[in-house]
Structure 1
């Protein structure tokens, strides 16, 4: 089995499984109903899209393991199995709502398993205890950041596919699954582009955040220079940026960061007159730029890489300022 054949298989399998899980979602009434102002869809839409692309990527990976000389490294296997814990947590939340505290505690437990198995940050100039705390914060934070960005058709799936593709170039031994995940997400997106026929649900968004956070740790960006530590942050930046933006804007209004609102950057762009396809294109473009910048910075000398990072920070600070000036209240009243 060649890699190109495996990628095609992952795409086609996801395409077919998404249709199958869509029918199952309708049958068992696993549906997202438009019961709040934050939800833009006009009718009940099935969940379980996450089950389709996660299953497709895993089936392809294990088939590739069986029929080629490729062998799944032990740490990657641990990450994938722990990711299934997050997947089933999200699936249960899609079917029967879990409390935020329950989900956070399960995420902390899953992250702790990874840490115990040696999947953690190893920043040489920091003490062990701080590396462990940062790993915990990183995994739980990124997991929820991808969940937070899943608020518009095609958004989380497209951004995740781009992130997985760029993480593939981390030059580690743990990267083939990321290509299969990219292909399976592409198959899912055929059904998820607006107007979406199916949503990924928390089973999909939480799994994506957890797995991508884990793979960013397994990668080897830091082999070039110390500033390369920031490269995984750039690749996963858009969901992280969304989390920062929403948190700051909600707090500035005296609201809880956990309060549902249309402070998301995607909704703000929509309020500014961008149609949904244009919002998606902007999001994909920014994700690609950040991914390219991450890879470029790794190949540059440390000083030049730092300049790239500082320039990107300035650009996103400007973007933050412009977004904060958009009158989101006009959209909330619609």
Structure 2
């Protein structure tokens, strides 16, 4: 039954994305390639709304059938607000100050709704107020880094599907009941439904409505997982490693160069690599390979209790950080002028 529900979610998202593509073309919601774009063709945007809507409908059904943890709504509620701002931005420009204010408020609300929480770092339990601030900043960063990384065909959908799908798998294998892990699998299935329209050729973009929603969901689900057991929090952060490393290194490097980090750019490692190769496909598939072959085993070691979560995070991230640095993440000389 659970597998059938995932297939239904996949199919509805696939069909709804086609409807949204027609809507975007009719209302001229189009991304026009520019100097800071990694695409060459005018492409409709806003298809990520299909993920948002099917996630809501699927969760409502799961709630009726008691197959979803009630705390999921504490993540979904603020995530829907983030998606709403993204949908507005896809239609007409919304100021960065307004977007960031909403992102910050939604992040704080999510932490408040999921409180109380505890997290240990190298044997030291973080004080409550410090932890609340750090988690709020983490959520706000997750929303924006997902948007930053949604720049080439399929990369955001594959990241969401692999991170959340792998997390569902780890929870299932560790004996968690279906109402704990099934929501992760649901969003993964929706992401795969959209992926058909976005990879290897992009016939519609996810838009801010989709990227903001998925970024807030992944960040929020990491905190929801923390409420289950600390190992799941570290595991999800490990699985999220490619996006976190590329965005964070890019932000730090651009800030050190004195650039306005909130402005659009084309200086992520994945963008440089796609430009060098002349294709998006190998880069997106490389992200999937890293997620499955490198990050998933590390996350499994943590969930199995064979490795400390924070230490495993450092070990898993180290070569990825070195890689994105080597590939030019945030390097000014490679930014399109």
d(CA) in 2 for partners of 1:231, 1:218: 12
- Secondary structure, aligned partner of 1:293: helix
Aligned to 2:140: 140
d(CA) in 2 for partners of 1:141, 1:58: 23
Aligned CA distance change for structure 1 residues 309 and 72 (closer, same or farther; 3 Å): closer
Large movers: runs of 4+ above 6 Å: 325-328
- Secondary structure, aligned partner of 1:40: coil
Aligned CA distance change for structure 1 residues 45 and 128 (closer, same or farther; 3 Å): same
Q: What's the CA shift string for 1:198-219, capped at 9, x where partnerless?
A: 0110000000010111111111
d(CA) in 2 for partners of 1:284, 1:58: 26
Shift of 1:222: 7.3
Q: How does 1:1-16 map to 2 (within 5 A)?
A: 2-16=1-15
- Secondary structure, aligned partner of 2:54: helix
Q: How many residues align?
A: 326
- Confirm whether residue 33 of structure 1 aligns to residue 32 of structure 2: yes
d(CA) in 1 for partners of 2:163, 2:105: 25
Moved more, 249-258 or 141-150: 249-258
Shift of 1:95: 0.7
Aligned to 1:192: 198
Q: How does 1:248-327 map to 2 (within 5 A)?
A: 248-273=252-277, 275-288=279-292, 289-302=294-307, 308-324=312-328
RMSD over equivalenced CA pairs, Å: 2.5
Aligned CA distance change for structure 1 residues 85 and 234 (closer, same or farther; 3 Å): same
For 1:237, which of 222, 241, 255 is the aligned residue? 241
Q: How does 1:1-334 map to 2 (within 5 A)?
A: 2-34=1-33, 36-66=34-64, 68=65, 70-119=66-115, 121-123=117-119, 125-168=125-168, 169-170=170-171, 171=176, 173-220=179-226, 223=229, 230-273=234-277, 275-288=279-292, 289-302=294-307, 308-324=312-328, 329=333, 332=336
The answer for unaligned runs of 5 or more in structure 1 is none
Shift of 1:308: 4.0
Give the TM-score, by structure 2 length.
0.87
d(CA) in 2 for partners of 1:98, 1:193: 28
d(CA) in 2 for partners of 1:120, 1:95: 38
Q: What's the CA shift string for 1:225-272, capped at 9, x where partnerless?
A: 6xx753222122222112112113323433222233221111221244
Shift of 1:297: 2.2
d(CA) in 2 for partners of 1:224, 1:256: 36
